[in-house]
Structure 1
């Protein structure tokens, strides 16, 4: 399968469609497939979570965090 050729074919099909429902479905599919965080981001988040759960890092309640921000 030639990826570029497939993309071009899909673009042509999108341009020629007259059905809004088709476009909405395709948009929904593409939005679901989008990755907002990389694998490296997840590694960092998981490492920080583990440090938090093991008590190695300091955590704050919402009230404490808000107070720290307001005092800046």
Structure 2
């Protein structure tokens, strides 16, 4: 079966359910299936965060990002 079609069917079923217990079970399943970052990924993020906090890297405001995307 087409994955996109399956997703749409599941979305429709979720929208139509009236049982909170069903929603809680599905949420728990999806949360348990989410990919986790590897330890090395966390180290890279922490290094980048430290560089940012120390002013060693360039950062942008949302307005600057929007302007750069528009040009």
**TM norm structure 1:** 0.51
Q: CA deviation at 1:70?
A: 1.4
Bigger Cα Rg: 1
Backbone CA RMSD of aligned residues: 2.7
Runs of 4+ in 1 over 4 A off after TM superposition: none
Q: Name stretches of at least 5 consecutive residues in structure 2 with no aligned partner.
A: 1-20
Cα distance in structure 2, aligned partners of 1:68 and 1:28: 39
Q: Name stretches of at least 5 consecutive residues in structure 1 with no aligned partner.
A: 1-19
Matches within 5 A, 1:7-18: none
Aligned residue pairs total 49
Q: Deviations over 1:12-46 (max 9, x none)?
A: xxxxxxxx97xx38x72673475421111111111
